[in-house]
Amino acid sequence: MRSLKVLILEPDPYQMMALHQMLNAVGIYDVLTSPSLAAARCSLERRARVDIAICDPQRRGGEGLALIRYLATERKASALILLGRVAPGLLTDLDAMLDEHQLKLLGRLHTPVSAVLMRGLLDNYLQTSAQAASAGA
């Protein structure tokens, strides 16, 4: 798999480890893991941007939604995978914000995350990225 840069915002160490291992299993090794919004922002300031960010927008304390806003307004990611259940009203608001800032929503995954579904979202991202690159060439 092409070298993707991925950021995971996940406070639960076991869930974070499972997601990290899942990404490694499909050939993605450039993975930033952050237990908090502050850690994620610090990592992004050092690394510039990522291809894909993975987070739960409804995390307690609003850190997931705050990260998504930061990624969108600062253009720190190209695409997003949402974890967990997302309220329909929030999803509508997110869609508008993501469209405005050209941050692509790859999809939503429920926990426990399925490796097959994760791989499908990653493959979709790579395919659309390759098509956009060849169309722009």
Taking the chain (137 residues) in runs of 10, the rounded mean pLDDT of each run is: 88 95 94 96 91 92 93 96 90 92 94 92 92 77
pLDDT at 2: 65
User: In the chain, what are the domain boundaries?
Assistant: 5-136
How many CA atoms are closer than 13 Å to the CA of 28, on its beta-carbon side? 24
pLDDT at 1: 54
pTM of the model: 0.93
pLDDT at 133: 80
Count other Cβ atoms within 10 Å, centred on residue 31.
Answer: 20
CA 75 – CA 73 distance, rounded (Å): 6
The answer regarding whether domain 5-136 maps to CATH 3.40.50.2300 reads yes
pLDDT at 100: 94
CA distances from 134 to 126, 127, 128, 130 (A): 12, 11, 10, 6
pLDDT at 111: 85
Structure tokens given for 98:
């993501």
Contact 121, 109 (CB under 8 A): yes
